[in-house]
Structure 1
């Protein structure tokens, strides 16, 4: 199934696949393809960086269930992810989001839903592979979205590498599919031995 071009729906689809991998994880201390990370660290990363980005750039706080607080990935990675994921989806589904902007010194001014889609949903998409590979689950990603992300990122390779957010490019065989090429581009070994 192709991913939607609408940010709220695309997040629902991408986060849904990641949620399936979270629920399928049996060993949270399993090594992940990101050096020094475990499966738990993948969830920790995704649940920790976005709130600050939204608060500082758009004055948006992710909603948390009434009489509750978001658990940490250390306490309960499944619940931490679910509360976080539901909060992001609520922001994207909120009709007011269409009228909001995010301002950041590194990315400029963007519609809020575009910023979430471009930086966060894409991050969840790529880290789905990390969690799946770490935990021995199905690690196939949407081929069309892999190709799209790669096409958008390759022209900015110098900036991307200098950000420190991605490792050195890993060379992949000629004629490799879009997923393999994307993984190599972001510094993952597509043949990392989790498979």
Structure 2
């Protein structure tokens, strides 16, 4: 996929995630998220980590910035800027990298990992903090067949290494469920989850 297309999509998704982070109040960071082991701050920490992972195949290190513990919004802004720098560099954006999914160009790697991650973890953060959890309809249409095609191994804890859990067990949804609810169920999330 052309880096310019990936960049436009990435920025839209990052803008949406950043808005959720910015609207989270200080007393909400310890709120439980739909991910059993994560509170709201841990959701942002995961997203920042995954943005930084995009730099590793290129032997690059994250730029200096605040930690998620001290400043979740600042940490995310720093991480997204690093990813956008990859996509706007005409050499780096086309460079081939070795990933667990095989050899991919940097733009494709960002599109398939960091960018897609923003979509469902935005839902996690929104649910944890009582914000609007409606996903972008275009993102749902794009991601639903991708997730439907995932191999069964992604649902097995530890299949990709010790301590690595890609997805929780699928959550059954009604046959007439909305595309967003179907996507969430395949991602191991209860579409009707509510904070305790």
TM range (shorter): 0.7 to 0.9
Name the counterpart of 1:155.
Answer: 149
Name the counterpart of 1:44.
Answer: 45
Give the deviation of 1:136 after TM superposition. 0.6
TM-score w.r.t. length of structure 2: 0.87
Asked if residue 75 in structure 1 is aligned to residue 76 in structure 2, the reply is no
Name the counterpart of 1:29.
Answer: 30
TM-score w.r.t. length of structure 1: 0.87
Give the deviation of 1:92 after TM superposition. 1.2
Contact persistence 1:170–1:184 (CA under 8 A):
yes
Q: What SS is found at the alignment partner of 1:95?
A: coil
Q: Distance in 1 between matches of 2:52 and 2:15?
A: 19
Compute the RMSD of aligned alpha carbons. Answer: 1.8
How many residues of Structure 1 are paired with residues of Structure 2 in the alignment?
184
Contact persistence 2:54–2:114 (CA under 8 A):
no
Matches within 5 A, 1:153-192: 153-162=147-156, 163=160, 164-192=165-193
Give the deviation of 1:53 after TM superposition. 4.7
Which residue of 139, 145, 155 maps to 1:145? 139
Give the deviation of 1:48 after TM superposition. 1.6
Which residue of 75, 79, 82 maps to 1:84? 79
Q: Distance in 1 between matches of 2:70 and 2:102?
A: 35
Structure 1 residue runs without a partner (length 5+): none
In the TM superposition, structure 1's runs of 4+ consecutive aligned residues that sit over 4 Å from their partners are none
Give the deviation of 1:98 after TM superposition. 3.3
Contact persistence 1:58–1:103 (CA under 8 A):
no
Q: What SS is found at the alignment partner of 2:149?
A: helix
Matches within 5 A, 1:92-103: 92-103=87-98
Contact persistence 1:54–1:61 (CA under 8 A):
yes
Cα pair distance change 1:159/1:6, threshold 3 Å: farther
Structure 2 residue runs without a partner (length 5+): none
Contact persistence 1:58–1:101 (CA under 8 A):
no
Contact persistence 2:94–2:107 (CA under 8 A):
no
Give the deviation of 1:149 after TM superposition. 1.1
Contact persistence 2:52–2:79 (CA under 8 A):
no
Contact persistence 1:166–1:187 (CA under 8 A):
yes
Q: Distance in 2 between matches of 1:6 and 1:96?
A: 16
Q: Distance in 2 between matches of 1:185 and 1:147?
A: 14
Q: What SS is found at the alignment partner of 1:137?
A: coil
Name the counterpart of 2:10.
Answer: 11
Give the deviation of 1:152 after TM superposition. 1.3
